Amino acid sequence: MGRVSEVKDIEVLALHPRVHDHATLKSTRTTTQEKKHWKRNAGCASGCELKKDFNDIKHTTLSERGALYEANRCLKCADAPCQKSCPTQLDVKSFISSIATKNYYGAAKAIFSDNPLGLTCGMVCPTSSLCVGGCNLYGAEEGPINIGGLQQFATEVFKEMRIPQIRDPSLPPVSSLPESYRCKIALVGCGPASISCATFLARLGYTDINIFEKEEFSGGLSSTEIPQYRLPIDVVQFEIKLMLDLGVKIHYGKELGRDFTVQQLHDEQGYKAVFVGVGCPQPKVEPMFEKLSESQGFYTSKDFLPKVSAASKPGMCSCKSQLPQLHGRVVVLGAGDTAMDCATGALRCGAQRVFIAFRRGFTQLKAVPEEADLAKDEKCEFLPFHLPKDVIVRDGRIAALELYRTDYATDGNVAIDEDQFSRLKCDFIISAFGSQVASPLQTAMHPLLFKKDGYADINYETGQAKGVDWLFCGGDTIGNGMTVEAVNDGKTASWHVHKYLQSLHGATVPATPQLPLFFTAIDAVDISVNFAGIHFPNPYGLASATPCTSADMIRRSFEAGWGFAVTKTFSLDKDLVTNVSPRIVRGTTSGPKFGPGQGSFLNIELISEKTAAYWCQAVTELKKDFPQHIVIASIMCSFNKDDWTELSKMAAASGADALELNLSCPHGMGERGMGLACGQDAELVRNICTWVKAATDLPFFAKLTPNVTDITKIAKAAHEGGATGVTAINTISGLMGLSSQGNPWPGVGQEKRTTYGGVSGSATRPVALRAVSAIARALPGYPIMATGGIESADTGLQFLQCGAGVLQICSAIQNQDFTVVQDYITGLKCLLYMQGREDLQVWDGQSPPKAVAPGKPVPVVGRGLPKFGEYNEERIKLTSEFCAESDLLQVKPARPAPPPAKAIPQVKDQIARAIDRIGTYNQLNNKEQVVAVVDSETCINCGKCYMTCNDSGYQAIQFDKKTHIPTVTDDCTGCTLCLSVCPIIDCITMVPRKTEYVPNRGIPVTSS
């Protein structure tokens, strides 16, 4: 036989990285030709290639992978400027924090609580001039967070959960509310402003809310004028459905001015309050175009965009419209967002070239970058400093457009230069010069008054019409043209409608608005737990660490929603300590990561510097003010019976619900014969627990150190000594790092000395999970408080399923603040709710399966072709051919209504749920093997799977020289390294092996 160390599979290794021992040489001409093959940024489809292609084109759209990456970049700043820049005051850092922990329901809840059209706004908001414009990461090289994309992602995931909205269960039921809540309320127009206003009024408890809509469909401009490729109709319908869940009624085919007036609604039909949200439906048209018609090639944006929507939004209306039949050259007049929609829409209607002409310079383009960039990508031509002079019509059709040249005058205004003009050949003109409320409609809105600028005259702080206390208005009608501004107008008006209606009945409302939040059945899930004879309102508590440095911090944590807290460890006065500094440093386990989201911390902080008297008084005060919350006193002594007896009785007398015996602090205290010095010896632990058991009837828990060979022996000793339960684990003893000069960090004093400190954070989670599960296996049913790397509802659930009953948290708070508990609460409620829904069992936690996952649509043609060079050109060609033949109005089969949730599991049902699947290696089945499969459609051709398989695996992946598509060979052993390093979620999956696995023994086993 040959040499076993000889390199084999030369063909497989052909593209594998190698160490260079000389410079690489290739001619520029060769590289110029070769780079075309690999080019990914050559641009998207343009011109006729886009005909009838209404797939999502937004740059901001994110898949789950992109959303998690982006959310974890966010700093979650204090007094976040992004929130201050959002008209609806979205708690941006809160919803992004939830996305970062894969609590997508928690994120959606935060969004919909302040913005009932949160998904629409995530898709169409000009975030660069709103929230993103205030992002503090503009001050760093990597740039601001894609807030709109994150908002879209979270709300799209929630949309796929198919869960109705309900009123806040803690509010009085509608049936018990006074007569004032049954006042008739009318809203005119079913656009964003009215939907928002009606939603908040319904959340408040009003039961007779009626929207009058002139069309046979709802959504306003979201349906009629924002194209399908930016805002799909099913998104609009989803948000309207959430409003209807609360009992709001929509009356279709009811037009203001034709069927009723605003005054009639109030005087004749008995509506006590009226909100007007009809927008500005009349286009502004230059005199030179007034006699032109669509048959001649002229459209206004108010004509063109609704026709495009009617022909491309399946299910919006019952008509079977056709797209406007454009061809040749199209000129769009205007520089706003609407003009950009007209331009990109024209390409999808058959235009070969599109020109966008506007009077100002390119640097003063009115359209936001999100819109303008799309038009640029699709190769629309921009013509700045141009204003229409005259239109040329030949044989009844538009033939050309004459344009003046404009420029900035000395006063900064745009002026026409009549000596310069040009003629531009064109076949169609689309005017996007804005819109207005025409005189007849203004009359129908009486007593609403209008100003000289054409907008309604209202109180902008309340939305109330001047001089008419029952009339309110918002949206385009008052000059707020953004969707999110209209939503906020409706939100603002809702509170003042409420205030007005209550005043009619002699009732008052709080001076500070208190609009109810968004709720679903998920929020009604009970996550309280009875643990060790104590009732915990939720399983989340503060560990005995820096978040419990003082009593006022524990008070603030309870106000934020934490279920319990373990005080900072205190001792008898004779054992008081003084800390050194620096003493708490970021970990290096996540590489050079700076800012929040640290994977670990190291500390050399000792126990509390405060006296036992301080902590006993603090416990007494906290229990008096927060009787439903659990306060656990953490105590520490040396191996001295009298000391443990004295301190235990003192802590018990303070009114604590339980005690935690700190037998595990890994630094400093051990040198004093305390902490680790006791906790590493089973006999000492047993004796200390026996002493405390004799001193008090309170439940008590021994806090265990992981710095032992077998933690179960220590847990058994605590159990034998009478401990109610144990806490696992304290920090892991470690040395975090040294500088290149050999200086440790933290380095104390001028000598830069250090000691082994306690490592905490998510880096310790595998050790903590092992400890908790091992104790649960060794002592079934024994109460365990878990701590060590819990940073989300998802990771907390893992500890519960490994045998813990409640969860202590520290490092996650160090990374953020006390409010993270709300993310954990909603996350756990959602995970439990999803376990009760049969149709959601295919989800991985809150991560949706591929079939409904957000992100760019998966192509139905060209599958398997790489997304670069000539392959991408072929993809564009195939997609164009497919779209040209597609039926845009084909309505997807309706998904069946979600089944009612069965009995929702409780926290107690999760405890030790996974224990029977954790055991010894010999219990594993080596007959049921898996192999890797690569999805070439989602693969980005990076070759990471190929490299790890070659240098750390089994050389079982081939990497194509031309396409860079990896292919798994029959040599795959199912080790799963490739999946572990793949940067794309679900690109590689492990599937059952169809043939028997025969290990490669290298040298065959001899028969003897």
Q: Which candidate, 322, 316, 319, 117, places its Cα nearest to that of 217?
A: 316
Six-digit token string for 572: 């008898």
**Selected catalytic residue, list 190, 426, 665, 972:** 665
Which phi and psi angles does 411 have, rounded to 5°? -85, 0
In the structure encoding, which two tokens stand for residue 716, read together?
Answer: 């058994």
Pairs from 40-45 (Cβ < 8 Å, separation ≥ 24): 40/867, 40/868, 40/872, 42/869, 42/872, 42/873, 43/377, 43/379, 44/377, 44/378, 44/876, 45/378, 45/876, 45/879, 45/880
- Map tokens 């503090």 to a residue: 136
Dump the DSSP string for 741-792.
TS-BSS-BTTTTB---EEEESGGGHHHHHHHHHHHHHHSTT--EEEESS--S
Query: For the chain, how many helices (H) and strands (E)?
Result: 30, 35
Nearest CA to 40 among 879, 883, 853, 964?
964
Classify each residue of 159-187 as buried b or exposed e, where b means 16 or more C-beta atoms within 10 Å of its C-beta. Answer: bbbbbebbbeeeeeeeeeeeebbebbbbb
Instruction: For residue 58, give both structure tokens.
Output: 């937004």
Token digits for 828?
């756990």
Q: Residues 703, 544: contact at Cβ < 8 Å?
A: yes
Look up 665 and say whether it is catalytic.
yes
Q: What angle do CA 704, 627, 725 make, to 5 degrees?
A: 20
Q: Taking a C-beta distance cutoff of 8 angstroms, is the pair 776, 915 a contact?
A: yes
Tokens of 179: 């007569």
Phi, psi angle pair for 541, to nearest 5°: -145, 165
Return phi, psi of residue 864, to 5°: 95, -15
CA distance 176 to 997: 68
- 209: Cα separation from own chain's centroid: 31
Interatomic CA distance for residues 901 and 144, integer angstroms? 40
Locate 231 and state its tokens: 């805002």
Task: Report the C-alpha gap between 257 and 445 in whole angstroms.
Answer: 8
Nearest-angstrom CA–CA distance, 847 and 831: 11
Is residue 752 within 8 Å of residue 744, measured between CB atoms? yes
Q: List active site positions.
A: 665
